[in-house]
Copies of this chain bind each other. A is one copy, B any other.
Amino acid sequence: MADIARMAEVDISTVSRALANSPKVTDDTKEKIRKLVEETGYVVNHGARMLRNQRSGQILVMLPNIAATFFPEVVLGIEDELQEHQFTVVVGSTRNDKEREDMLARQLLNGAADGMILMTGRLPDELLAQPSYDRLVVGVSRTVPNADIPQVNIDNRQAAITAVKHLFEGGHRRIAHLSGPIGSPTFQARVDGYLHAMDLAGASAQSTVINSSGFNLAAGATAMTRLLESAILPTAIICASDEMAIGAMDVAQKAGLSIPEDISFIGFDDLSFSSALHPSLSTIRIPRYEMGRIGARMLLQNLDSSRKKPENIIMGHELIERRSSRVHGL
């Protein structure tokens, strides 16, 4: 910048103002500087600006695993929203490792990131040190229990109830649930909803929950394999994610079961794949992209501490009925 100033024969402060498009600089001067910048390919130094302004223009997204099918679409929504507001997105996969979580959280504390979107369902310990952390963090898609931060999510309990009801209407009574990690409030809420709905329908004796440590293909396959060992098979299965459902359906089909004739399936998420599968997969659609966008918007609002802290948002879910749970297999 000093170079530009010298070449333009003005003070460095004028250059700074010109670049910030300050109204107190003549158009002539601005134009002269603009040209020089173009010619030299000058770019303002990020570190210096950051030090000076005490902000980085970066938002950290913390999630367990960017390769889990659920997350990329949420990240896309976050990116789209934040890019419009001149923020850059930093993604960190924690693999559920506390140490990695703390390492990433430090990005917030040291000023490398101005705010954070949390999709791990857990507040890193490091963060609690920071006094105003509740203004810097927003939880998305994985509820953080007892946290004083704004969150966006769907009503997972209600979603599970929706799934059970749907199967009940199809005449099913023996309905099993292949759940995700039991420690996660998200998956726990789905279990709760499932059990509650089964109970309401007087079918609680028929409830079966199989827990998994993950919610991917392999988890679904393993859980289904275990379920097949039961004396009496359920006639329908609610899987905690579409990915699990795909794994489970594969195992079921390999075991000679027809879907939906012998056994029905319904998942959670509505991946783009789910409609193209054979049979196509019924599911509870979760508005992933929108959740990301709205979460990002909430964070932006939250960062501005002069404004009211945003309220939690519960987004709608939607039952998508496809062939895997169709009565009479039509």
Q: A residues engaging B (CB < 8 A)?
A: 41, 43-48, 50-51, 54, 56, 58, 65-67, 69, 71-73, 75-76, 79, 83, 88-93, 100, 103-104, 106-107, 109-112, 129-130, 216-217, 221, 243, 246-247, 249-250, 253, 272-273, 275-278
**A217-B273, A253-B278, A272-B216 known; A43+B93 contact, CB < 8 A:** no
Residues of B within 8 A of A253 (CB): 278
**A47-B54, A273-B246 known; A90+B89 contact, CB < 8 A:** yes
Residues of B within 8 A of A65 (CB): 76
In this complex, which of A46, A69, A71, A103 has the most chain B Cβ atoms within 10 angstroms of its Cβ? A46
Contact B276 A217 (CB under 8 A): yes
A93 to B100, CA, bound (A): 24
Residues of B within 8 A of A272 (CB): 216-217
5 A-B pairs whose Cβ atoms sit less than 8 Å apart in the complex: A50-B50, A58-B90, A66-B66, A66-B72, A90-B91
The copy count of this chain in the complex is: 2
Residues of B within 8 A of A51 (CB): 45, 47-48, 50-51
- List the B residue with the shortest CB-CB distance to A89: B91
Contact B88 A112 (CB under 8 A): yes
Residues of B within 8 A of A93 (CB): 76, 79
Contact A88 B90 (CB under 8 A): yes
Q: Using A46-B56, A66-B72, A88-B107 as known contacts, list a sample of 6 further A-B pairs with CB atoms less than 8 Å apart, ordered by residue number in A.
A: A43-B110, A47-B50, A47-B51, A66-B91, A67-B72, A79-B93
Residues of B within 8 A of A273 (CB): 217, 243, 246, 273
Q: Report A108 CB to chain B, min CB distance, Å.
A: 9
Residues of B within 8 A of A107 (CB): 46, 88
Contact of A47 among B43, B47, B130 (CB under 8 A): B47
Residues of B within 8 A of A54 (CB): 47
Q: Report A62 CB to chain B, min CB distance, Å.
A: 12
Residues of B within 8 A of A106 (CB): 43
- List the B residue with the shortest CB-CB distance to A51: B47
A158 to B111, CA, bound (A): 47
Contact of A66 among B75, B111, B249 (CB under 8 A): B75
A250 to B43, CA, bound (A): 49
In this complex, which of A130, A217, A273 has the most chain B Cβ atoms within 10 angstroms of its Cβ? A273
Please list the 8 inter-chain residue pairs (A to B) with the smallest Cβ-Cβ separation, ordered nearest first: A47-B50, A41-B129, A47-B51, A250-B276, A46-B112, A46-B110, A67-B72, A43-B109
Residues of B within 8 A of A278 (CB): 249-250, 253, 277-278
Q: Report A44 CB to chain B, min CB distance, Å.
A: 6
Residues of B within 8 A of A71 (CB): 72
Q: Report A40 CB to chain B, min CB distance, Å.
A: 9
Residues of B within 8 A of A90 (CB): 58, 88-91
In this complex, which of A83, A93, A111, A276 has the most chain B Cβ atoms within 10 angstroms of its Cβ? A276
Contact A76 B72 (CB under 8 A): no
Q: Report A65 CB to chain B, min CB distance, Å.
A: 7
A178 to B220, CA, bound (A): 31
Q: Report A111 CB to chain B, min CB distance, Å.
A: 5
Contact B75 A111 (CB under 8 A): no
